[in-house]
Structure 1
Amino acid sequence: MKGFPNYLVALALMALACSIVSAYDPAPLQDFCVALNTTADAVFVNGKFCKDPKLVTANDFFFPGLNTPRSTTSQLGSNVTLLDVSKIPGLNTLGVSLARIDFAPYGLNPPHTHPRATEILVVVEGTLYVGFVTSNPDNRLITKTLYPGDVFVFPIGLIHFQFNVGKTNAVSFSGLSSQNPGLIVIAKNVFGANPPINPDVLIKAFQLEKNVVDDLQKKFAA
């Protein structure tokens, strides 16, 4: 992938800027706070419990192989590799995370929101049609077609999407202003809720026939 290292450097800088300017997480109260799954020898600050600084190693801040293409054989033709605090414990309290998104031709990262993060995306391969929708009452759709090297920002909490409109694979990277940005996939969360939302609610909310709602609930419950 020509120029790939340069894009990673640019992305790291963008992620840092996103964290400084728009970070939503509580600000760090110390140099670092590496996450632990147990409370032994830990001090609770914010985010997760923190490892004793004397026991911290480089691996707590490391993740290998993000340059490796991911499978896009899913029904949507996309694959998101999110590096949040669960993948890199050293992100705890630092207010930033990173994602690689792989797209098959005409692959889609469907309409979704990140309740705790603004996202800044850079395209490194392919052509993406991206956009977000503003909140009520305007519900304005703001879209752009992106090419390699182009950057786009999705404001915190707003519904947004990315769609590969090209005939070749596409790859993008995103910086997010949270160690744990969260994910709400609109269709999955509404029609795949567990336990299911009463169909009468969805029939009225989306102005759909009952058989359509029943079919969607079966599809997204899988």
Structure 2
Amino acid sequence: MATQVALLVIVALGFCCLAFAFEPKPLQDFCVADPTSSARVNGLVCKNPMLVQANDFSFSGLHLPGNTTNPVGSRVTPVTVTQLPGLNTLGISMVRIDYAPWGINPPHTHPRATEVLTVLEGSLQVGFVTSNPENRHITKVLQKGDVFVFPVGLIHYQHNVGYGNAVAIAALSSQNPGVITIANAVFGSKPDIGSDILAKAFQVDKSIVDQLQTKF
């Protein structure tokens, strides 16, 4: 009997862990975000449902190409709860990504979301790296219409390997997935991470770290 009880407890705890690993399901039809509220909650406060309009569930602009004239040659156009208040509590968002020829979406992570990317135009090399200690690089070249999944929290990237522009649309499993661009976070933090720390971490000379930090 004691063994059965212990087994039930373990199973119950397992389900609890799964439940807390993702955003909670809404308890009403919708909870349109009210960005004017000063209340602090895990998410955004709901607007009075009687004041909700169709525009709260609509976003225009994903048909417009992003400006890729920047050092990395890509532009992300997000549609998160910030741009589309009706996404609040629904656990989903999306982005459009434009790539100049040979442009990249640099290695980054989404701490709160898995990403499903679909190529609309062009050819993209995509990849992600598994966690320690394997650090396995899983990569593939995608063509128009291909789909690829980046698991939540893992470092991933996209690289336009064609001579023309490329476009992708991605869905993410959070209303606010967050993004941590690795190079920006490591070399562009404010205040700086000590160059002696980074030199030891990357096994390079401190002068190289100092040079990298000036670029971010």
Q: CA RMSD in A?
A: 1.5
Contact map agreement 1:126 1:168 (CA 8 A) in 2: yes
Aligned counterparts, 1:1-222, within 5 A: 24-39=22-37, 46-220=42-216
Contact 1:46 1:93 in 2 (8 A): no
Equivalent position amino acid for 1:207 in 2: Q
For the residues of structure 2 that align with 1:194 and 1:106, how far apart are their CA atoms? 30
User: How many correspondences in the alignment?
Assistant: 196
Cα 1:215/1:46, change in 2 over 3 Å: closer
CA distance in 2, matches of 1:63, 1:150: 25
Kindly name which structure, 1 or 2, has the bigger radius of gyration based on alpha carbons: 2
- Report the Cα distance in structure 2 between the residues aligned to 1:134 and 1:193, rounded to whole angstroms: 24
**Contact (CA 8 Å) 1:26, 1:46: kept in 2 or not?**
no
Percent of counterpart pairs with the same letter?
A: 64
* Distance apart, 1:46 and its partner CA: 4.9
Q: Kindly state the Cα deviation for residue 139 of structure 1 after the two structures are TM-superposed.
A: 0.4
Offset of residue 29 of structure 1: 1.7
Any stretches of 5+ residues in structure 1 without a counterpart? 1-22
Structure 1 position 27, deviation (Å): 1.4
Cα deviation, residue 28, structure 1: 1.0
| Paired AA for residue 23 in structure 2 | D
TM-aligned CA deviation for residue 171 of structure 1:
0.1
Q: Which residue of 2 aligns with 1:5?
A: none
Q: Deviations over 1:64-94 (max 9, x none)?
A: 1211111110110000001100000000000
- TM-score when normalising by structure 2: 0.88
Q: TM-score, normalised by structure 1?
A: 0.85
Higher relative contact order (CA 8 A, sep 6+): 1
Note closer, same or farther for the CA distance 1:62–1:127 as it changes in structure 2 (3 Å cut): same
Amino acid at match of 2:74: S
